[in-house]
Amino acid sequence: MRVLSRNKWSTLASASVIASVSLCLLMFAAPSVRADNPSLSVYGYVYDTEGLPVNGATVLIVIVESGHSRYGTTDSDGLYSSATDFNATDYALGNTIRVTASYDSNLAQNETAVTAGIVSVGVAQVDVHFTYEIPEFGSLLGTVVAMVGIALVSAVALSRRRRA
């Protein structure tokens, strides 16, 4: 058996300590880097041209650069949120968050950049506004369409009554 000299033994011990410290840094530094980029929740409101909330719109949320996406649906207040958060690896500072709302075959879109402020709180609000009238009974166009429909049904009913 060979006995190591004191010089060689201390060199081996030093190399062992350096390797251990390096391994610890690799193991524990990675989570701290990810902590700087938390999971990201995206929410917002969808409004029609009159500024009223749109209930039941389907919303697609996409991080453009990574292609990661989430879906949501608006509630009666027009509020949507991503069903699950984006992971820290799904986005980076400066990426674009694009939100597309779909309602009654109409589309509207808005986007924002991931800023340091968004990253620090882990939340981004992106509101979407339709720039055209969505026909429904609560809107002026929807009311006019309903009134014309009722008038046509009444006219047909009256003309059939007169024939009989």
**CA–CA separation, 38 vs 64, rounded Å?**
18
What is the token pair recorded at 24? 């610890």
* Residue closest to 110 by CA, chosen among 123, 124, 97: 97
Question: pTM for the full model?
Answer: 0.60
Give residue 5's identity as a one-letter amino acid code. S
94: pLDDT strictly greater than 90: yes
Which residues lie below 8 Å from residue 14, measured CB to CB, with a gap of 6+? Answer: none
pLDDT (tens digit per residue) in 22-61: 444 434 433 333 345 689 999 999 999 999 999 999 999 9
30 DSSP assignment: H
Contact 41, 83 (CB under 8 A): no
Give residue 133's identity as a one-letter amino acid code. E
Give residue 110's identity as a one-letter amino acid code. N
96: pLDDT strictly greater than 90: yes
Decide the pairing of beta strands 79-81 and 123-125: unpaired
| Residue, of 104 and 134, whose pLDDT is higher | 104
Percent of the chain with pLDDT over 70: 58
Site of tokens 């003309």: 159
